[in-house]
């Protein structure tokens, strides 16, 4: 597996990975079209801070950060539980002292993943502040002093 900075030509695959998650997750409402997902992926990449995981020349996951905020971390369904998400997260954390992220309360797998990687819950909301209207959780990670 290779981790590298995303290129503009990765936007289609990054958008597909995001769309597949939405389409395959029963509790996740589709509030944007697949074309809007693709445009969002392109905008994330254009701002910088997107790392992709590549296996045999194909992008299989990505992480997007803006400052110390992890805005997205998604892995193709057939590549989950293979270390791709952990590798992406470690690459992101290697360049930071702190990292924050939001995940939905319904996303139990993500909660377990982030807790296992040293994040702690900071607060919960009723979802009125996010576009999906779903209850969510703010997590934070801080590098331990050595």
> How do the pLDDT tens digits run along the chain, 146 residues long?
999 999 999 999 999 999 999 999 999 999 999 999 999 999 999 999 999 999 999 999 999 999 999 999 999 999 999 999 999 999 999 999 999 999 999 999 999 999 999 999 999 999 999 999 999 999 999 998 76
Tell me the pLDDT tens digit for each residue of 78-89. 999 999 999 999
* Residue whose structure tokens are 């930071």: 96
pTM: 0.94
- Number of Cβ within 10 Å of residue 120's Cβ equals 11
- Cβ contact 52:58 at 8 Å: no
Tell me the pLDDT tens digit for each residue of 43-53. 999 999 999 99
Laid out side by side, the sheet with 69-75 consists of 2-5, 50-55, 58-66, 69-75, 98-104, 136-142, 120-125
The interaxial angle of helices 34-47 and 11-24, nearest 10 deg, is 130
User: Which fold does the domain 2-142 belong to in CATH?
Assistant: Aminopeptidase (3.40.630)
């Amino acid at each position: 597996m290779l981790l590298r900075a995303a290129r503009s030509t990765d936007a289609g695959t990054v958008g597909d990975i995001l769309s597949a998650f939405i389409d395959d997750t029963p509790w996740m409402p589709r509030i944007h079209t697949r074309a809007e997902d693709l445009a969002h992926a392109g905008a994330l990449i254009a701002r910088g801070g997107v790392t992709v995981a590549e296996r045999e020349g194909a992008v299989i996951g990505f992480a997007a950060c803006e400052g110390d905020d992890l805005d997205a971390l998604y892995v193709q369904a057939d590549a989950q539980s293979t270390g791709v998400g952990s590798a992406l997260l470690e690459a992101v954390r290697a360049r930071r002292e702190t990292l924050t992220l939001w995940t939905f309360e319904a996303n139990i797998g993500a909660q377990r993943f982030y807790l296992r990687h040293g994040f702690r819950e900071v607060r919960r909301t009723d979802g009125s502040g996010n576009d999906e209207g779903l209850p969510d959780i703010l997590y934070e990670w801080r590098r331990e002093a050595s």
